[in-house]
Chain A
Amino acid sequence: MRALTEVGAAGGQAERGKRLTLEHVSKRFQREGQSAHAAVNDVTLTVEPGELLTLLGPSGCGKTTTLRMIAGFEQPDAGRISIGGDDVTTLMVYRRSIGFVFQNYALFPHLTIFENVAYGLRVRRLPEPTIRARVGQVLDLVGLPGYERRFPNQLSGGEQQRVAVARAVVVEPQLLLFDEPLSNLDAKLRVQMRAELSRLQRQLAITTVYVTHDQEEAMAISDRIAVMHQGALAQVGTAEELYSAPRSAFVAQFIGRVNLVESRVLARSGGRTAIGLWDASLSVPGGDAYAVGQRLSLLLRPESLTLVPESAKATESEVVVPGIVRSRTFLGEKVEYAVEVGGALLQIVAYDPTRRGVVDVGARVGVACDATAVRVLGAES
């Protein structure tokens, strides 16, 4: 990347690493014959300079609309968007300094790879030698040297993806925007490409907003993740924060898999709280936040639960409850079980099954849950 920056210096030092802020941004869409529907509702968000933030959510949650408003393809109905402190809310897209990578790459089919990448530089009327140098460097950067004279339809999906990225970064944008860039690639390539994108983004240190519906992809590449639900921000945080301390059932279920179990505060004493889990009582740290008798939702991640023999005794810090294995899916490195406990099905994951054995469907088992594995929904971690 150093080379790219040096060349950039010749044509005016590139400005990168700008802070992006969204303040109370809303957007409604009028569907034919229907009342206006809020695609994005009062989103306030800051992306720090050089940070990669992912907008994560199911389809229709407003993540792409948010991204398109940041790009300037859509205009918000309310709120303010600024890049590096400059209000760009109503600025036309071609006046913003952005690089946008589209889901379908949107390469110009009638132009060679060189001309595709050079497009933004030509629009900026840079001198021809500069254009040649920068296109060459950026193609090196994405691992496609020598592809200059080919046409997009002669490239594989992964190669087209790289060209799309090269085209977006070569203009040294203040902001890099990705709209589900990997969803058209096959699973293996997707994993490889997301590592490359992550490396590239860190190298270039361009403030980046990345849209995806794939939580694993989001966790793999993001500095922070903003989970969106029905047009609003559900929670913003690092992958670890979202996983360990989700603020809502939606976030908990969207980031990884989870068992949500209803519970009640039984007693409080000496900074610890006794909560009911199934028919037993479990002592968890912290107590100031809850009142005795209060209802709670407990979050039990499948990998935190363990299958034990039916007759196993619970230790001090854990609860063991009897259950029946209703289904099991063998996936190689792990086995996923559905175990019926008290009329509800619990998801449980057991790793390394070849060494630790597999339990048969119909078997009577104990499910052990350690106090350290229990999270109360909405509690700070």
Chain B
Amino acid sequence: MKRDPVVAPAVLLVWAAVALFVLYPLGRLLVVIFWNGGPSLDAVRGLVGDWTHRAALVNSLLLAALVGVAGTALGLAFALLAVRSNLPRWVGRALDAIVLLPLISPPFTAAIALIFALGPRGLVSYHVFGLTKVNIYGLWGTLLSETLTYFPIAYLTLKAVLANVDPNLEDSAFSLGARRWRVFRMITLRLATPGVANAFLLVSAASLADFATPLILGGTKFPVLPTQAFLQITGLYDMRGGAALCFLLLVPALAIFAGQRWFTERRGGSFVTVTGKVGAATRVKTLSPAAVAALVLVCGVVVALVLVCYLLIFAASIVRGLGADNSLSLAHYAHVFSGGLKAVRDTLVIAVICMPVGGLFAVVLGFLVSRTEFPGRRTLEFAAMINYALPGTIVGIAYLVAFNDAPLALTGTAFILVVCYVFRYSLAGTRATSAVLAQIDPSIEEASASLGARRDLTFRRVVLPLVRPALLAGMTVLFIRAMTAISATIFLVSLDWSLVTVRILEGITNLELGQASAFSVVVILLVYLAVAVASLTMRRLNAGSVGQAGALLGG
């Protein structure tokens, strides 16, 4: 199908969009860093001399590693409990519902909740345990908050991996005389190892890119790269310095991304199943009752902590000042629906515009890379993924550098916010599209062609209806991200177009935690509503496994 009159224009269009909104800003960013009237390393060299910047690099890497380990361990515990413990089905469902909370919450939620719970006059630390020396600010607070926020990513990844380890393999090890611990170590864990490594990298990447949590909890003693870059630009108006900090962040982020690609693409690496025939249904026997009990305990504590966090946020939103004046009041919500209404409306408008635009982009890209042949296909696939892989701070600063003045003065417009989300968060939809297409034999499209339909008609009549579940999943993810993102878009907002997440940040910095909580509750409810609508629609579409928007948020 070489001379297809439809594929070539579509490829050109996608390439043009990727070049303009992914490669161009990144190129401009690199120019700002390495060009000062000529090639120059001054900007990077300047960083090395500064204690704060050196510390930010070390702290970022340390934090990412610690959150990676802690998040993966928790995720593994939850995953084992969900798919390897023979617990009733509702337990798994309940775990999924609770674990979804941190994934769909606005970025500061866990941080605010921890301040309420464990802050200087924390409800738990001071009012319950009477402790006065608890310091939530710094490495440990940030670590705790990020772990609670990002372990669900590891959980979703590992749940899928463990669910794919055929219990018959464990049975065959038992039949050869191995005991539980040995089977778990040699079979279950071994088969899940690539998944564990992948989960670690995903969680580390999320931590490395996290801007919101360290901004609230890091304080001056614990600077990290994304917050330093933000402060360098918004506080000191030093674009080059901020850009150079981005570069320090770029290197480990790309390394993690490359590692993660390596783990997922190495076909043999995920040696999970695909043996064709499904083995006999068998009861999982790997975990002893004592081990299950231990898992229940660990996961129970974490679930309780997560629930307490969200209850605190809710409580803070409906009283005057949580911990100080606990009288019920709707004043915070009144503020949200008066002064804050514009931000809510703007965010919703942008999120709603993002859905069809990004959804269609995702499906078209997914179709092009998995169903057509053209030169540079792999390159396009990679290029389209860059904005997703990079920490939002880098993307935001790159957009700021590229689109702040002529010829493309776009910052502050709704357009640039939409574009930013589309290129950052369409990947989930693209992956879902590829997954759906992988299950559809190419002969279906050939059948359409043999009946006289051109590629565009085939795409409209056959491909699009078949990838509807992927489209919907992709749009749901876009909606959730557009409602909750901050790290990139904080550089792009204006008086004309503001975002709820920015209002939450303002609420925190102005010590209006009640308002911030009310905004958070509104966002969480809106997002939950979107997820519920999407799930119902999915069920009607018979979408099966692709249909879980929650699972797509993980990777």
Task: Determine which of B3, B446, B457 lies in contact with A73 in the assembled complex, contact meaning CB atoms within 8 Å.
Answer: B446
Knowing A73-B1, A75-B2, A106-B441, say if A119 contacts B451 (CB, 8 Å). Answer: yes
Interface positions of A from 99 to 127, Cβ below 8 Å from B:
99-100, 102-104, 106-110, 119-120, 123-124
Contacts of A171 in B (CB 8 A): 451-452
User: What residues of chain B lie closer than 8 Å to A103, measured between beta carbons?
Assistant: 443
A119 contacts which chain B residues (CB < 8 A)? Answer: 448, 451, 453, 461
- Return the contact of B441 from the options A75, A99, A104, A124 (Cβ within 8 A): A104
Question: Chain A residues near B512 (CB, 8 Å)?
Answer: none
Q: Do B443 and A94 touch across chains, with their CB atoms under 8 A apart?
A: no
Q: Does B327 make an interface contact (CB < 8 A)?
A: no
Q: Which residues of the other chain, B, contact A168 by a CB distance below 8 angstroms?
A: 450-451
Query: Which residues of B from 447 to 504 have beta carbons under 8 Å from A?
Result: 447-454, 457, 461-462, 465-466
Instruction: Tell me the chain A residues, 53-84 only, with Cβ under 8 Å from chain B.
Output: 71-73, 75
Residue of B nearest to A95 (CB): B452
Query: Is A306 in contact with chain B by the CB < 8 A criterion?
Result: no
| CB closest residue in chain B, given A90 | B3
Q: What per-residue 1/0 map shows which CB atoms of A329-349 lie under 8 Å from chain B?
A: 000000000000000000000
Of A73, A104, A108, the contact of B462 (CB 8 Å cutoff): A108
Over the window 338-369 of chain B, the binary record of Cβ atoms lying under 8 Å from chain A Cβ atoms (1 yes, 0 no) is 00000000000000000000000000000000
Contact between chains at B443 and A92 (CB < 8 Å): no
Q: A93-B446, A109-B466 are in contact. Are A167 and B451 (CB under 8 A)?
A: yes
Tell me the complex Cα distance, A102–B444, Å: 9
Complex Cα spacing A92 to B453, Å: 10
Contacts of A92 in B (CB 8 A): 1, 3-4, 449, 454
A93 touches B449 (CB 8 A): yes
**A94-B453, A120-B452, A124-B452 known; A106 vs B447 contact (CB < 8 Å):** yes
Name which residue of chain B comes closest to A73, CB basis.
B446
CB distance from B211 to the nearest CB of A (A): 42
A330 to B1, CA, bound (A): 51
Query: Is the beta-carbon distance between A110 and B457 smaller than 8 angstroms?
Result: no
**Residue contact A123 to B453, C-beta cutoff 8 Å:** yes
The distance in angstroms between the C-alpha atoms of A99 and B443, with both chains bound, is: 13
Contact A104 B452 (CB under 8 A): no
A280 to B532 alpha-carbon distance, docked (Å): 87
Q: How many A-B residue pairs have CB under 8 A?
A: 73
Count of interface residues, chain A, beta-carbon cutoff 8 Å:
29
- Given the complex, which residues of B lie within 8 Å of A90, measured CB to CB? 3
Interface centre among A93, A103, A109, A171, by most chain B C-beta atoms within 10 angstroms, is A93
Is B454 touching A94 in the complex (CB atoms < 8 A)? yes
Give, as a whole number of angstroms, the nearest-CB distance from A168 to chain B. 8
B contact residues around A98 at 8 Å (CB): 450
**Given A75-B2, A123-B457, A106:B446 Cβ within 8 A:** yes
How near does chain B come to A344, taking the closest CB pair, in angstroms? 40
Output the nearest chain A residue to B466 by Cβ-Cβ distance: A110
Closest to A117 in B: B451
Bound-state CA distance A102–B447 (Å) is 8
Which residue of A has the minimal Cβ distance to B2? A75
| A83, chain B: closest CB distance, angstroms | 14
> Is the CB–CB distance between A99 and B450 below 8 Å?
yes
Would A100 and B453 count as touching, CB distance under 8 A? no
A110-B465, A123-B457, A171-B451 known; A104 and B3 CB under 8 Å?
Answer: no
CB distance from B521 to the nearest CB of A (A): 39
Closest-by-CB residue of B relative to A100 is: B450
A215 to chain B, nearest CB (A): 25
Please give the distance in Å from B444's CB to the nearest CB on chain A: 5
A119 to B2, CA, bound (A): 24
Q: Tell me how far the C-beta of B8 lies from the nearest C-beta in chain A, rounded to whole angstroms.
A: 13
A107 — which chain B residues lie within 8 A by C-beta? Answer: 444, 447
Residues of B within 8 A of A106 (CB): 441, 443-444, 446-447
Bound-state Cα–Cα, A95 to B454, Å:
9
**A123 CB contacts on chain B under 8 angstroms:** 451-453, 457
| A171 to B447 Cα, complex, angstroms | 13
Rounded to whole Å, the gap between the CB of A258 and the closest CB of chain B is: 35
A168 to B448, CA, bound (A): 10
**B-facing residues in A127-183 (Cβ within 8 Å):** 167-168, 171, 177
Which residues in window 230-244 of B have CB below 8 A to A? none
Known: A73-B1, A109-B466, A123-B457. A93 touches B441 (CB 8 A): no
User: In the complex the two chains form, what is the Cα distance from A109 to B443 in whole Å?
Assistant: 12
Complex Cα gap A73–B373 (Å): 13
Alpha-carbon separation in the docked complex, A73 to B450 (Å): 9
Question: A92-B4, A110-B465, A123-B457 are known contacts. Are A102 and B451 too (CB-CB below 8 A)?
Answer: no
Complex alpha-carbon distance, A98 and B453, angstroms? 12
B458: min CB distance to chain A, Å: 8
- A102 touching B446, Cβ below 8 Å: yes
Nearest residue, chain A, Cβ from B451? A120
Q: Which residues of B contact A97 (CB under 8 A)?
A: 452
Give Cα distance in the complex from A104 to B441, angstroms: 9
Which partner residue on chain B sits nearest A110 by CB separation? B465
Q: How far is A120 from B454 in the complex, measured between Cα atoms in Å?
A: 11
Instruction: Point out the residues of chain A lying under 8 angstroms from B4, CB to CB.
Output: 92
Alpha-carbon separation in the docked complex, A168 to B443 (Å): 14
Assembly CA distance A75 to B448 (angstroms): 18
Q: Chain B residues near A177 (CB, 8 Å)? A: 450
- Measured between alpha carbons, how far is A110 from B454 in the docked complex, in Å? 19
Docked pose: A97 CA to B452 CA in angstroms = 7
Contacts of B466 in A (CB 8 A): 109-110
Interface pair A108/B444, CB less than 8 Å apart: yes
Question: Across the interface, which residues of A come within 8 angstroms of B462, CB to CB?
Answer: 108, 110
A95 to B5, CA, bound (A): 12
Question: What residues of chain B lie closer than 8 Å to A72, measured between beta carbons?
Answer: 449
Can you list 9 A-B contacts (CB < 8 A)? A72-B449, A73-B1, A75-B2, A94-B452, A94-B453, A100-B450, A106-B443, A123-B457, A171-B452
Shortest Cβ-Cβ A-B pairs, 9 listed: A120-B451, A100-B450, A106-B443, A106-B447, A102-B443, A93-B449, A123-B452, A110-B465, A123-B453
In the complex, given contacts A73-B446, A92-B1, A119-B453, what are 5 additional A-B residue pairs having Cβ atoms less than 8 angstroms apart?
Answer: A94-B449, A94-B450, A120-B452, A123-B457, A124-B452
Which residues of B pack against A, CB within 8 Å? 1-4, 441, 443-444, 446-454, 457, 461-462, 465-466
